Amino acid sequence: MKAEVYSITYRIPLTDAQQAKLDRKWPDGDPFISYEKIDSLLEPLQVDNIYWSDHTGQYFYFTVYGDDVEGTVAEVVERLEGKLGKA
């Protein structure tokens, strides 16, 4: 029997500008960039447990599943940089 890595949780440090984009709110208090928007941005990648908060430091957390973890992480970073700007 051999165990294999199936999922890994990552965190990406965010710049002040990236964190500010994630923290922006509409006048009614709803987030400008919601978790649903980020979920749809990352579809159909095997990514889950997406989280960011200024309470946990300036990090974006996510868990990657599947066989191509490195490729998925690279794609997540590329898509996030397209949405939030490069570091």
How far is Cα 46 from Cα 7, in angstroms, rounded to an integer? 9
Q: 31: closest CA among 40, 42, 41, 20?
A: 20
**Which strand (E) or helix (H) includes residue 71?**
helix 69-84
pLDDT at 54 over 70: no
Rounded to whole angstroms, the Cα distance separating 38 from 41 reads 5
Q: What is the pLDDT of residues 16-39, one digit of tens each?
A: 999 999 999 999 999 999 999 999
* Residue 12: per-residue pLDDT: 93
